[in-house]
Amino acid sequence: MTRGHTVGVIGAGIAGLACARELVAGGFDVTVFDKGRGLGGRTATRRAEPDLRFDHGAQFFTADDPLFREVTDDWLARGVVAEWIGRIIRLEDKTVIASSLEPRYVGMPGMSAMAVDLAVGLCVRTATQITAVTHGAVGWTIASEANETVGPFDTLVVTFPAPQTAALLGSHHFGAVASTVKMTPCWTVMAAFESRVELPWDGAFVHDSPLAWVARNSSKPGREREADCWVLQASPEWSADHLEAPADRVSKDLFEAFEDVIAGPLPLQRYAAAHRWRYGQYSEPDERRMLFDPRMGLAVCGDWLAGGRVEGAFLAGVRAAEAIREHREQELRDLWARGGP
């Protein structure tokens, strides 16, 4: 019923790919665009020297919702993800407190594995930054940074962080909704040392420090043969206060904070790089999951409409696809009720 209905999905993060996958399964003709060279957005994996690899965005994910549990079980069965059994603690004023025992899953061998799996069989155009979208009589046209115009598409789905969504959609009321949402930044340092950092834990949620999270990336499954790689993530407050600081200054400050957390010196650095996630996370509970304007054929989804996190992004994408499909099926039923095309 839906064949021939074209959909442009902007963003190949978890939300965009989950949405596209669901639409393709429903018979829609879907093209996904992403400005990045790789897939996954904030579930990214950064490769450095041949033996260094870092999950510098999402660290792990949890699965509570029954639908997302089902998908996670399938990923587990096929080796796309694995459970991270590392010792994860909370550090409060240097006191070690046990963290929750909820299963934590990671992509294999990097966090981008889920996105790569979702994208199988989809038409995805990477390295394509979308700069403008226009709605006209024939549907949506999309303009890229390279001055290419693509389309028209019957339906458009926008899946990136709220501030970028607001900038793209401008005067549409979804742009206004997105402009009220504040996402917190996150400075992340990726580090490898000349010798192993000896600590009795693999990951720590840190309090009362510039850092909010530190983890031995190489303690995750599938990374055991890699060098001892660490990911240090600053708190939202510290990241906001140092948003425009130079990357090397950020690395230095966060290494000092790490030494303070472990109350001792770190081995000599072998590799260090800092990455700024300007629109890192949104952690307010929000159950809308997606916004859909059937009149214009416009859907907006992403983690910021679904409580943040990988699970929320996935469910947001699926719900957007369901809304588009239900609307299209209703349109076709109405058409046939009036005597057909």
139 binds ligand FAD (CB under 6 A): no
Q: Which CB, 20 or 227, lies closer to ligand FAD?
A: 20
Q: How far is the CB of 209 from ligand FAD (least distance, A)?
A: 16
What residues contact 329, with CB distance under 8 A and at least 6 apart?
A: 1, 2
Measure the CA–CA gap between 341 and 335, rounded to whole angstroms. Answer: 6
| Tokens (6 digits) for 132 | 């403008």
Q: Residues 12, 41: contact at Cβ < 8 Å?
A: yes
Answer for which of 5, 8, 9, 34 binds ligand FAD (CB under 6 A) is 34
Q: Residues 41, 18: contact at Cβ < 8 Å?
A: no
Q: Which CB, 27 or 213, lies closer to ligand FAD?
A: 213
Q: How far is the CB of 103 from ligand FAD (least distance, A)?
A: 13
14 binds ligand FAD (CB under 6 A): yes
Q: Residues 160, 173: contact at Cβ < 8 Å?
A: no
Q: How far is the CB of 10 from ligand FAD (least distance, A)?
A: 5
Alpha-helical runs (H) found in 13-124: 14-25, 66-78, 113-118
Can you tell me whether residue 129 is helix, strand or coil? coil
DSSP E strands, 183-255: 184-193, 203-206, 211-216, 229-234
Q: How far is the CB of 302 from ligand FAD (least distance, A)?
A: 4
176 to 195: interface string for ligand FAD, x by CB under 6 A? ----------x-x-------
242 binds ligand FAD (CB under 6 A): no
Measure the CA–CA gap between 112 and 9, rounded to whole angstroms. Answer: 19
222 binds ligand FAD (CB under 6 A): no
Measure the CA–CA gap between 35 and 171, rounded to whole angstroms. Answer: 23
Q: How far is the CB of 264 from ligand FAD (least distance, A)?
A: 26
Q: Which CB, 28 or 68, lies closer to ligand FAD?
A: 68
Which residues contribute to the site for ligand FAD (CB under 6 A)? Answer: 10-16, 33-36, 41-43, 57-61, 129-130, 159-161, 164, 186, 188, 233, 277, 280-281, 302-303, 308-310, 313
